[in-house]
């Protein structure tokens, strides 16, 4: 596992994932299907969903390259490997962009833009605002770089319907079936 310096050259779509609020679930009680993590984080019990481990392995093997974008930085894999049998994924360092913007998630969007070029990217995170959704629309429609942003909830994590949405999007990205900017269907979406 290494810090990403450039990820624009791969033919595969990219899946960029945060850890907390996506796979580490911060809830007062275990959400349905979830188990307590073996270690406590900040003296609190957090939970994980075993289906996330299977899903990430499937996506990695069949559909996309996976990258961590988390405040855990290089420790993201250590945190996840304690509960899931995942390969080592590279991680994105957002701090080189820190002097340019004040928002952590704006940093994440800047890092994705800089590192992935026009490569298709799906990004899953729990702290996403309208700003990130607008950024994704601009990246997709203006820059010709297909982008999907999926917002999870800190106390629920990545849900099955979100996994289905991301997987379908990645399949379409991998097979070139996403609408290209400038097509009639894409122009109609922008007008809405």
Question: For 69-111, what is each residue's pLDDT tens digit?
Answer: 876 666 666 677 667 777 788 778 776 555 555 556 578 888 8
Q: Please check whether residue 157 is in contact with residue 37, taking contact to mean a CB–CB distance below 8 angstroms.
A: no
Q: Please check whether residue 107 is in contact with residue 97, taking contact to mean a CB–CB distance below 8 angstroms.
A: yes
The whole-number pLDDT of residue 148 equals 97
| 3-state SS assignment for residue 50 | helix
Q: Please check whether residue 170 is in contact with residue 55, taking contact to mean a CB–CB distance below 8 angstroms.
A: no
What the block records as the tokens of 22 is: 């996506």
| 3-state SS assignment for residue 68 | strand
Q: Please check whether residue 27 is in contact with residue 134, taking contact to mean a CB–CB distance below 8 angstroms.
A: no
| pTM over cut 0.95 | no
The whole-number pLDDT of residue 98 equals 54
The whole-number pLDDT of residue 2 equals 67
- Distance CA(100)–CA(97), nearest Å, equals 6
- In the chain, the domains with their CATH numbers are 14-191 (3.40.50)
The whole-number pLDDT of residue 10 equals 86
User: In the chain, which stretches have pLDDT less than 70?
Assistant: 1-3, 5-6, 40-43, 71-78, 81-82, 95-105, 179-192
The whole-number pLDDT of residue 160 equals 95
CB atoms within 10 A of CB 31: 14
């Amino acid at each position: 596992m290494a810090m990403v310096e450039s990820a624009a050259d791969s033919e595969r779509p990219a899946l960029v994932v945060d850890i907390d609020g996506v796979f580490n679930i911060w809830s007062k009680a275990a959400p349905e299907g979830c188990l307590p993590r073996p270690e406590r984080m900040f003296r609190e019990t957090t939970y994980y969903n075993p289906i996330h481990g299977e899903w990430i392995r499937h996506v990695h093997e069949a559909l996309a390259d996976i990258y961590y974008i988390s405040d855990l930085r290089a420790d993201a894999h250590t945190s996840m490997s304690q509960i899931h049998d995942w390969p080592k994924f590279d991680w994105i360092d957002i701090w080189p962009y820190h002097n340019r913007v004040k928002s952590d998630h704006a940093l994440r969007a800047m890092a994705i833009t800089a590192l992935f070029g026009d490569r298709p990217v799906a990004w899953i995170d729990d702290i996403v605002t309208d700003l990130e959704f607008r950024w994704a629309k601009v990246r997709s429609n203006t820059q010709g770089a297909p982008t999907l942003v999926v917002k999870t909830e800190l106390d629920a994590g990545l849900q099955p319907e979100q996994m289905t949405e991301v997987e379908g999007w990645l399949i379409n990205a991998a097979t070139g079936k996403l609408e290209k900017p400038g097509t009639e269907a894409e122009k109609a979406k922008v007008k809405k």
